[in-house]
Structure 1
Amino acid sequence: MKKLSTFLTLAFLSSAVFAQTTWKSDPMHSKLAFSTTHLGISDVAGLFKNFEVTISGNQANFSDAVFKLTADVGSIDTEIEMRDNHLKSADFFETEKFPKMSFTSTSIKKSGKDRYKLTGNLTIRDITKPVTMDLWYRGTVDNPQSKAKTAGFQLTGTINRSDFKVGPNFPAPMISDEVKIKADGEFTQKP
């Protein structure tokens, strides 16, 4: 009986240690932003207002985490309505035909203290390409407002818009092919 009790205790502790946790982005404290260079002389920034990110994993330091993002491309906002409407058109994102973009990570590799290289598949305009971004895990705290564990991350990197056929009729001297990505997020642990 003692052996059975010991076995059950070990099994319970093992499942508790390796239990998968899920985290969901807090829209009030998260941002998905980008910037391009116009005419080679100035940066133009924007963001996607509506998006959701979930993280799942077993490790407390997120070293095995899987990140999944879905964004409403029609929520693009560069603070200029005319430009936003043009970006939603067939010249760029063609949001009527391709309303969503998504990212699902396929690997996460440590690159320093609380720093990772996050690789995954990015889909824009139904074109999927692998991309690698820099991920900074900023820590986990007990949120006094929500009474929930809250983790913070910052993601930075660069993608090429031509890989996804975004704005193919606008050459790089007019709008840079490279698009800088910067995403900041707070994530609440789900029970």
Structure 2
Amino acid sequence: MRALRYLVLAGLVSAAVSAQAAPVTYKMDPTHTLVLFSWNHFGYSNPTANIGIGDGTIVFDDKDPSKSSVDVTLPLADLDTHVSKLDEHLKKADFLDADKYPTMTFKSTKVQAEGGNKYKVTGDLTVHGVTKPVTLDATLNKSGEHPMMKVQTVGFDAVATLKRSDFGVGAYVPNISDEIKVRITTEASVPKADTAATK
């Protein structure tokens, strides 16, 4: 009888661990997400543009990161350099051509743990109608219940370096650098409706 109880207990523990290990879907918070692009201008300055997310989903499995994924849409209408004339120019046909290509997208194809809280996130980035593979170096900042929203939340930073000419946006190279540095910071939470459904 005691052996049976141990078997039942072991089964319950195993089920609980399996439930905890399941991938969790998080929605990225636009008010706490920055997607920053910076470049060099004639060697004199390094301007930065922020492109806010239109929609972003992170599926994260801390036990098996290979089951994780990222899917993000970035509307160029929200591009902001804090200089209105520069915003207008970047959206014109010689750069991003926002009228013809109004969004940028990133869809991951692989997530790999690098040890500790570090991850390699490889995926397809589509800019200016061109899709190329890119890899983000991501860091998990924190995971847990958000103290204000009372929902499970994760926070990540990520960086990458791209060549804009790879996406057909190579105007004025090399005076305006081909190399673009990308820095992302985000918070993402389990939608409250999903949280209520699991209780």
* Displacement after TM superposition at 1:116 (Å): 1.3
Match of 1:178 in 2: 179
Describe the shift of the 1:61–1:143 C-alpha distance in structure 2 as closer, same or farther (beyond 3 A): farther
Check whether the contact 2:66–2:110 (CA below 8 A) recurs between aligned residues: no
Q: Please, which runs of 5 or more residues in structure 2 have no aligned partner?
A: 195-199
Match of 1:127 in 2: 130
Q: What SS does the aligned partner of 1:16 have?
A: helix
2:109 is matched with 106
Quote the Cα distance in structure 2 between the aligned partners of 1:14 and 1:177. 47
> How far 1:117 sits from its partner (Å)?
1.4
Structure with greater helix percent? 2
Partners of 2:41 and 2:62 in 1: CA distance = 42
Q: Give the share of equivalent positions with the same residue, in percent.
A: 34
| TM-score normalised by length of structure 1 | 0.87
Cα gap change, 1:81/1:31 in structure 2, threshold over 3 Å: closer, same or farther? same
Tell me the amino acid that sits aligned with residue 157 of structure 2.
Q
Determine whether 1:84 maps to 2:87. yes
The SS at the match of 1:34 is strand
Alignment of 1:148-187 (within 5 A): 148-166=151-169, 168-172=170-174, 174-187=175-188
What are the superposed Cα offsets for residues 104-154 of structure 1, whole Å, 9 maximum, x if unpaired?
Answer: 111122223211111110000111000111100112121121110111100
Structure 1 unaligned blocks of 5 or more: none
Distance 1:142 1:18, change over 3 A: closer
Distance 1:62 1:187, change over 3 A: farther
1:10 deviates by 8.2
Identify if the C-alpha distance between structure 1 residues 77 and 137 changes in structure 2 by more than 3 Å, giving closer, same or farther.
same
Off by >6 Å, runs of 4+ in structure 1: none
Q: What do residues 10-40 of structure 1 show as CA deviations (whole Å, max 9, x unaligned)?
A: 8954762453320011122111111000002
| CA RMSD after TM alignment | 2.4
Change (3 A) 1:63 1:113: farther
TM-score (norm: length of structure 2): 0.84
Report the 3-state secondary structure (helix = DSSP H, G, I; strand = E; otherwise coil) of the residue aligned with 2:39. Answer: strand
